[in-house]
Amino acid sequence: MSCFTGLSAFPITPASPDGQVDTAALRALIAPLAAAGVDSIGLLGSTGTYAYLSRAERRRALDAALDAAGGRVPVIVGIGALRTDEAVALAQDARAAGAAAGLLAAVSYTPLTDEEVFEHFCAVATGSGLPICIYDNPGTTHFRFTPSLVGRLAQVPGLRALKSPAPDPDTVAGHLDALRRAVPAEFRLGTSGDWNAAEALLAGGEAWYSVAAGLFPEACLAILRAAQAGEAARARGLNARMGPLWDLFREFSSLRVMYAAAGHLGLCRADPPRPILPLPEPVRRRVAEVVDRLALA
C-alpha cells in the first residue's frame, strides 16, 4: 500500500530552546505510533516545527524517527525550505537516510506565483529522486494550490500525492472531485484539518494527515477505519466525540495544544520554539481536562 494512503500521524518535535532536537523524547513519541499501526508517520510537518530547525537537526530528528519506527511504518518527512537548493539538499538527505517520501510546502517570504512554485517543485523532485507529497498549507505559506496547478505538478515524475486542508463538510466532496478530475488515477489525494477529516474520508479522501494522531493514534484510527468501511454514522459519531479537542485546535492552534497535551501526559517537557509561546496555565488546564475526559491518555 502507498505511504500516501490511510492515517499519517504528525508528532511534535521536542527540542531545546536553542533548537537541539531531543532525540530520546522524539523516539518516545514515535514508537507508540508505530505500535498502534498508523499507516505512516509525518515527521517535521508544521506541527513538527520543521521551519525552526537547522538542516543538521532535521537530519538528527529523521535518523531518530526512523530508528524508533523500526522499519514497521514508513516515514514521510518535511523538506520545505525558503531556497530551492536548500529544499533539494533536504530531500537528498531524506532519501539517503531512508525516508519513504518527502512533504514539500511552498515556503517563501516573498509571495510566489504559480510558475515559481511549479519550477520549485520540479527542481526538488528531479534533483532528489525522492517521492514527494505536495503540501498545500495556505495558513502558513499564504499560497494556495489550484486544481489546475496540482494537475500540472501531478505529471512531474516523483510528485505522487497532495496534502490539502479539508474544507467544510458541505464543500469537501466538490473540493476532492475537482482535484480528482485534474490528476492521474494513481495520484493520491489526502487532507489535513482534523475536525473535517471524517467528512473528507467519507467523501473519498485517500489519506488523513493528522495532528491528533501524533499523540492519540487509536482514536484517529477508529474514525479512519469506520470511514473506510463506509460506516458513516459511526465515523461521524466518533468524530463528534473528539469535538472538544477540535474546538481547542481551532481556538489555540493544534501545535500549541499538542505541546500542552504531551506535557500533561508526561511524554516530554519541551516548549514550542520561540517566538511561539506555550499556552498559559488556565488553557493548559483546559487541555488536560479534555484529554482526561476523552480518555485519550
Buried b / exposed e along 123-147 (16+ C-beta atoms within 10 A): ebbebbebbbbbbbbeeebebebeb
135 in catalytic set = yes
Give me the count of residues in the chain. 297
The H or E element that residue 291 is part of is helix 281-293
Angle between helices 232-241 and 243-252 (to 10 degrees): 60
Q: For residues 94 and 251, what is the distance between their CA atoms, to the nearest angstrom?
A: 34
Active site residue 52: no
C-alpha cell at 75: 516515514
Catalytic one among 50, 163, 209, 259? 163
- Cell of residue 111, nine digits: 509571495
Instruction: Pull the grid cell for residue 196.
Output: 473535517
Which listed residue (50, 52, 109, 135) is catalytic?
Answer: 135
What amino acid positions are annotated as catalytic residues? 135, 163
